[in-house]
Every structure is written in C-alpha cells, then in structure tokens.
Amino acid sequence: MRAVHFGAGNIGRGFVGLLLHEGGYEVVFADVNAELIDAIAAADSYTVHEVGDGAKDTVVTGFRAINSAADEEALVQEIAAAEVVTTAVGPTILRFVAPVIARGIAARPADAAPLAVMACENAINATDLLATEVRQAVGDEAWASLSARAVFANTAVDRIVPGQPAGQGIDVTVETFYEWAIETPAFNGSLPSIPGAHFVEELAPYIERKLFTVNTGHASVAYFGARAGIGTIAEALAEPSIAAAVGAVLEETSALLVAKHGLDVDAQREYRETILRRFANVHLPDTVERVGRQPLRKLSRTERFIGPAAELAERGMAHDALVSAIGAALEFDVADDEQSVHLQAKLHELAPGTFVEEVTGLAPEHPLAPAVLAQVVARQASLA
C-alpha cells in the first residue's frame, strides 16, 4: 500500500507519517522545502522520540521523498498509484497542493479503488476545503466524471509536536498522546487501513472538542505566558495565576461543548484535565513564541477564541475568561512573527471598531463585540 503525504515537516514525520507507516503504507513525503526533502531522501530511516509518560522510540522505514515544486510529474504518478493522500501543510496552503492532487486523481485508472483524501489540519472541515479547491482546479464539468475516483473525509488531529532540538536531523520529538479521528460516511464502509486512527460517524463534536480545548488552551497558555515574560509552555502553566486563567477559559469552552454537542460533563472534565497535563509536560521544550505565532489567524471569526466566545455570547453563557485571553493575544508582540507584526501595526493604525470588524469578523451588533472592543481600546491605550 502507498500513501502520499503533503508536508514533510515535524507533524508529517512525527504523527501522520508515523501512523501511516504503522498501518503498513509506504509513505511518500511531498514538500517544497528542497533541503528537507533531500535529507529525507538520503535517509534509510528516522526515529520518532515520544517523551513523557510511556516514552518510547519508534524507527520509521520504508519511505521516499519528492520535491513537489521541482518534480510535479513524478508526484502526479505517485498519487495516481496511491491508496491514501494526506496533508499537514496548514489550511491556507491547501489551495496550492490541490491542483497536483487533482491531476493525480485524473491520472488514476478508472477501475481503481477511490483514493482516500484527508486533510490533517488545525481547522474545522479542512478536507471539505481541500475538496472544493480540487474541484475548482479541474472545473465542475471535468469533476463530474472524476469525482468517483476519490473520497474526501474530514479529520480531527491532535498531537503536540514542539520546536525540535538542534542537531537531530530528520528525527522528531513528540508527546506520547495522539488522536486522529476520521469521519466514516464518505467511505461507504470501505475504510482505509490506519490502525492508529479512530473512525467516527460524526466528526463535528471531535473537531470542536479538540479546537476549543487543545487549541484554545494551548494558545491561552502562550499568550498569558508571553504577557508574563515566561519562555516555555510548561513554565507558564506552572505559574498559579496563569493556570487559573487557562482553567477558567477551558471551563467556558467545556460548557459550550456540553451544551452544543451533549458531551458528558465528567468525560469532558477528564479530557480537559488530560490536556492541561499534556501542556505541563516538562519533556516538551515548547516555547510561548512558537505556540502563540500567527495571532491574526487565531483571532479570526471561526478560530479558537472568537469562535467559542461568540457562540457563548449568543447563548447568553459566561465568556469573560475567553475575552481576557483575547486581550492577552492582542499584546503578543514578537518581531520575527509576521502576523504578530501586522497585528501590532493594525492596533496602531485602525480605529477600535474597524479593528474588531476586520480582525475578528464580528459585526458591531454581535453580543460579543462590545467586550472585544473594550479589550482593543485598552490595548491601544497602552500603546499610545
């Protein structure tokens, strides 16, 4: 069996590629980073180091690598012969990989089993987005005759992969915990062989549980930690005031998840506590700067802060802790993070109401807007 994975970075090698390898696939890594692809192509194996409780090392073999920018024709042929295509490139990059995936689907034999396509991204319904981009790449008329050659299944993925220690080559250090949930209806009973994955009938609760607990919580630790001048996620969470603030954020998002999806209260509390223990793992040298990067994306309308806070406000439920985390995010100011620089520039240049609409997507009449506006006004006053 063969799987083509777009994104040969740490998540690709240390999570998705690892599970595909354990499922018996020959993994073909595709990436535009020539130096990384050359390093992978030159290696016979790499090691995934899992750290924390239950630590272990896993040696991955049986992989290849293709420079997707320089050798697109070879990549098309790999996709045409594969059983699975996955991505871990970031939601905004999906539109760039869609055309070659479309070409690969078109090159598949008409009698081949449908290609299983899954976008393993930190975004809700990322595979739906990829499917739309693929369809647009070939056009509606051509897609009508090709659509039976592929199935697109949404996924929810979760594994902390921190910044990597220097000098370890293509080896990857990750936490021991992981979750890969895959929605089943698209497959019509013919599920791909991925033993480490969890197949579910309805993915939405899993996606939002992960996004509004792991992603919201992780970013909250980062922004509160950055405000306090603390360097790592584990160190930040060891500060009682930050632990309390993050705990309050996750109590609010948990209340939303229970109300919206009917999750069990005790099970969600245990999940929340598990997530906080993961963040506190001192064996993961993750920095607040890495986790907090791209604040403009993280402050957007459907993302980890505004998304749940807006729904809570619409339901008349408590959301003050989330608003406080939004305030901390507005202070994130890291010179080598492009979005951080743009965020601070917008705070200097835009009127408060304009900033709220442009950055968060909240209309002035939305019940969350006044609280966010107050945070923006306070941040701008501190910059004056």
Token pair, residue 94, equals: 């999906």
The Cα 334–Cα 287 span in angstroms is 12
Query: In CATH terms, is domain 205-383 a member of 3.30.70.120?
Result: no
Average pLDDT over residues 28-49: 97
Lowest mean pLDDT among 127-136, 265-274, 282-291, 306-315: 282-291
DSSP, res 284: S
Please report the pLDDT score of residue 160 as a whole number: 87
The Cα 285–Cα 247 span in angstroms is 21
Read off the pLDDT of residues 195-231 as tens digits, 9 standing for 90 and up: 899 999 999 898 899 999 999 999 999 999 999 999 9
Read off the pLDDT of residues 216-271 as tens digits, 9 standing for 90 and up: 999 999 999 999 999 999 999 999 999 999 999 999 999 999 999 999 999 999 99
The Cα 175–Cα 197 span in angstroms is 16
Average pLDDT over residues 278-294: 92
Is residue 224 within 8 Å of residue 208, measured between CB atoms?
A: no
Share the mean pLDDT of the chain: 95
Average pLDDT over residues 149-162: 93
Read off the pLDDT of residues 116-143 as tens digits, 9 standing for 90 and up: 999 999 888 999 999 999 999 999 888 9
Please report the pLDDT score of residue 167 as a whole number: 79
Q: What percent of the chain has pLDDT over 70?
A: 100
> How many CB atoms sit inside 10 A of residue 222's CB?
30
Q: Which residues is 6 bridged to in the sheet? A: 30, 87
Q: Domain-by-domain residue ranges, the chain?
A: 2-202, 205-383
User: Structure pTM?
Assistant: 0.82
Pick the CATH number of 2-202 from 3.10.20.70, 3.40.50.720, 3.50.50.60, 3.60.21.10: 3.40.50.720
Res 383 pLDDT > 80: yes
